[in-house]
Amino acid sequence: MSHDIRTPINGIMGMLNIGDHFPEDMEKQAECREKIRGASSFLFELVNDVLDMSKMESGKIELEEVPFDLLDLLDEVVSMIEVQAMGHGLDFIYERHEEIHRQVIGSPVHLRQILMNIAGNAVKYNRENGSIRLAYQETAFDGANATFEFVCADTGKGMSKEFQEHMFEPFSQEENGARTTFGGSGLGLSIVQKLVEKMNGQISVVSEEGKGSTFTITLTLRVDPLTESDSREPELKTQRKSIKGIRILLAEDNALNMEIAEFILESEGAVITKAWNGQEAVDIFQNSDEGTFDIILMDVMMPVMDGLSATRTIREMDRKDAREIPIIAMTANAFDEDRKRSREAGMDRHLAKPLDPREIVKTISECISHKK
């Protein structure tokens, strides 16, 4: 594991040094940035995998029971995997259809993690000019619960029968030349299996060396009776979500994180007011006219007053907008209890760091539309 951590860090530092030696070479600079981006992404995924595995082994992973739109979740996964596939020169096939119970109750965070892990592996360990197929179907419905089958097939190098016998064990990796520049932690499939089992589902794989692998995941989810009747209506989601003109109170104590968040939001046309700690966010909101802000983005860990305390203080103010304004948590802590504490403090949604521009826009847009 120490080698897996040091390798991308060495890559990042090395590419920075190379970039310093070629300040005028824009092509070399772009090449270095791309390699730094790849190493950083791998390191972030590795840390998440290690933390997730630690939580699972200690029995602290808690599943959510919240309503969500299954098709929307699948579309989100596809949009991210499709970009990765294109970057690797792979064909991507998504078999999408709407004849399912899409309004369900379950743990969307963990379902997304399962699908992203399996589909991400299909990209990572595919062959040159290969392909990926992602499909799903509803296989059963008993009037209250729907059973879904998710299939991810790739044309990668496949897995030997020997490796398949212990593929779900932590840190298992097959040395078949399929590893990418920074390889993998060997934790992904183990995490997927444990999550699927915790969700009372099943996972199976058919793999042949030289031809590829097909993963099939079967899960049963409760159908949401309150919203399912509206799910067959035509979608009105063709227009790109926009946050142009949205007035945001942004609370963040780290200067670098503030700069990144401010750049993302202002690039999308939002109007930003900055607060550098929780107390400052409370003071700015309290001294503003009612309705000044449309939404608050609140870092959780801040000096003077943390984001959770600041949220509680705002919610307790004797003014209508304090009770109604959407407050979104921003945190590098992706554990379930962190999300739970955020909700208990009065926060509406949760954004994980590093911030993803598309996810920020989507989350803010949804919060604003629900508010209306």
In 3D, which of 150, 158, 160 has the Cα closest to residue 125? 158
Shared domain for 29 and 95, answered yes or no, is no
| Mean pLDDT within 270-298 | 97
191 domain-assigned = yes
127 domain-assigned = yes
Choose the final residue of a domain: 37, 57, 77.
Answer: 57
Within 10 A of 325 (CB to CB), how many other CB atoms are there? Answer: 22
- Decide if pLDDT at 304 tops 80: yes
**Cα–Cα separations (whole angstroms), residue 106 to 190, 222, 345:** 21, 7, 22
What integer pLDDT is reported at residue 237 of this predicted model? 44
Under 8 Å CB-to-CB from 14, ≥6 apart: which residues?
Answer: none
**Cα–Cα separations (whole angstroms), residue 8 to 33, 117, 304:** 13, 19, 35
Shared domain for 162 and 276, answered yes or no, is no
242 domain-assigned = no
Residue-wise pLDDT tens digits, 105-120: 999 989 998 999 899 8
262 domain-assigned = yes
Where are the strands (E) in 48-114, listed by range? 66-69, 91-95, 103-106
Shared domain for 39 and 151, answered yes or no, is no
What integer pLDDT is reported at residue 335 of this predicted model? 63
236 domain-assigned = no
Segment of 73-82, 88-97, 307-316, 354-363 carrying the highest mean pLDDT: 307-316
Report yes or no: 367 and 295 within 8 Å, Cβ to Cβ. Answer: yes
Choose the final residue of a domain: 197, 230, 263.
Answer: 230
In 3D, which of 206, 203, 221 has the Cα closest to residue 164? 206
- Decide if pLDDT at 363 tops 60: yes
Choose the final residue of a domain: 230, 256, 279.
Answer: 230
239 domain-assigned = no
Query: What is the C-alpha to C-alpha distance for residues 366 and 72, in angstroms, rounded to an integer?
Result: 12
335 domain-assigned = yes
What integer pLDDT is reported at residue 190 of this predicted model? 87
Is pLDDT larger for residue 154 or for residue 7? 154
Is pLDDT larger for residue 238 or for residue 32? 32
Report yes or no: 66 and 108 within 8 Å, Cβ to Cβ. Answer: yes
Q: Which two tokens stand for residue 236?
A: 């009105």
How sure is the predictor about 45, in pLDDT bands with cuts at 50, 70 and 90?
confident
- pTM metric for this prediction: 0.65
Shared domain for 89 and 200, answered yes or no, is yes
329 domain-assigned = yes
Say if residue 87 is exposed, middle or buried (CB neighbours under 10 Å; 0-12, 13-18, 19+). Answer: exposed
Give Cα 166 distance to the centre of its chain.
27
Shared domain for 192 and 46, answered yes or no, is no
Give Cα 340 distance to the centre of its chain.
17
Q: Report the CATH number at residue 114.
A: 3.30.565.10
Report yes or no: 168 and 204 within 8 Å, Cβ to Cβ. Answer: no
For CA atoms 45, 335, 2, 126, the dihedral sign is negative
Q: Report the CATH number at residue 335.
A: 3.40.50.2300
How sure is the predictor about 276, in pLDDT bands with cuts at 50, 70 and 90?
very high
Say if residue 18 is exposed, middle or buried (CB neighbours under 10 Å; 0-12, 13-18, 19+). Answer: middle
Shared domain for 38 and 111, answered yes or no, is no
Residue carrying structure tokens 């929307």: 72
Segment of 63-72, 125-134, 279-288 carrying the highest mean pLDDT: 279-288
- Longest Cα–Cα distance of the chain, Å, equals 67
Report yes or no: 364 and 245 within 8 Å, Cβ to Cβ. Answer: no
- Decide if pLDDT at 184 tops 60: no
Shared domain for 161 and 275, answered yes or no, is no
> Which residue intervals of 153-229 are DSSP H helices?
161-164, 188-198
Residue carrying structure tokens 């729907």: 146
Residue-wise pLDDT tens digits, 212-271: 999 999 999 999 887 655 444 444 443 457 899 999 999 999 999 999 999 999 999 999
- 295-299 and 247-251 beta bridge pairing: parallel
Shared domain for 9 and 113, answered yes or no, is no
Shared domain for 188 and 141, answered yes or no, is yes
Q: What range defines the domain where residue 296 resides? A: 247-371
Shared domain for 101 and 226, answered yes or no, is yes
Strand partners, 148: 138, 219
Report yes or no: 348 and 367 within 8 Å, Cβ to Cβ. Answer: yes
Shared domain for 123 and 175, answered yes or no, is yes
Query: What is the C-alpha to C-alpha distance for residues 360 and 247, in angstroms, rounded to an integer?
Result: 14
Shared domain for 51 and 75, answered yes or no, is no
Instruction: Report the number of distinct structural domains present in the chain.
Output: 3
Under 8 Å CB-to-CB from 58, ≥6 apart: which residues?
Answer: none
Residue carrying structure tokens 């059963």: 140
Residue-wise pLDDT tens digits, 121-180: 899 889 889 999 999 999 999 999 999 999 999 998 888 888 888 888 876 666 554 444
